[in-house]
Each structure stands twice: as C-alpha cells, then as structure tokens.
Amino acid sequence: SDLALVTLPVLLPDQDALGLDGARARLFAREHFYTASVIGDGMIVEVFGTRQRHAVPPDPATERRIAEARDAQGYLVTQGEGSWDVAFNRYGAAYSVIAECADPADARCEDGDYARGVAVSLLVASGQPDGN
C-alpha cells in the first residue's frame, strides 16, 4: 500500500469531526510526504504532511511574528478564499489541514473552527511518531 512508503506519521481526520455524509477519500503518498483528500457534503478537506525542508524565517522578527500567530496548541489558522488552513508541526514533520467549502456561505467556512476541529481530531493512521 502507499502508506508503507511514508516515513512520517500519517495523520488522518476522525470521521465524526469531518461530519461529511457520503464522503470519498483519496490518498497520495511518497517517502517524505502525503496528501489525503476527503470530498463530500459540499466540502473538500485535505491533510498534507511532509518532512521535506521548509524555508527558515529570514530574521528573528519574522520568526517571532509567526510564533505569536500560533495558538496555545501550536496551530496557525489562516483564511483563504472560501477555505481555512490550519498549519502545525508534530513528530518532526509539518502538517496542514485545508477545509474548502463549495458554497462560501456554508457555516463551516464562516470561521476557522471547523478546520481547527478537524486538525485537533487527527489520528495517527500509519507510521510512528519517532519517524519509523
């Protein structure tokens, strides 16, 4: 299976937190990253995890602003066009949950609560937190 290729913990959302009727899920996985997409009930929820390198903040002031933007659990919640993104680091990897509504007026996209709830619900579906 594709999951056997991944060297980082694969985090997937709890079905109850998704609350999507008739949802379809897809997974694309490689050694150092994966993307899981769940589509249903007027929503697309994507979970992305990677151990590939990321840019380091260019200066201490930028690093401080990013740290201050994260909540007490380390989540950085940002709004996109009709979507919400929750980014965080766990187990030596970077993860992102994106919740996108087909209808921008959908209550699940009024604020970041739905997307954050999905992020909080993530469970280790494969791999180990220590990277094995």
Q: Where are the domains of the chain?
A: 2-126
* Cβ–Cβ < 8 Å for 52, 7: no
Q: Is the dihedral of CA 70, 59, 91, 108 positive or negative?
A: positive
Q: What is the mean pLDDT of residues 88-103?
A: 93
Q: Which pLDDT tens digit goes with each residue over 35-79?
A: 999 999 999 999 999 987 666 778 889 888 888 888 888 899 999
- Whole-model pTM: value is 0.87
Q: How far is CA 65 from CA 57, 60, 61, 69, 97, in A?
A: 10, 9, 6, 6, 21
pLDDT of the residue at 122: 96
Residue 130 above 70 pLDDT? no
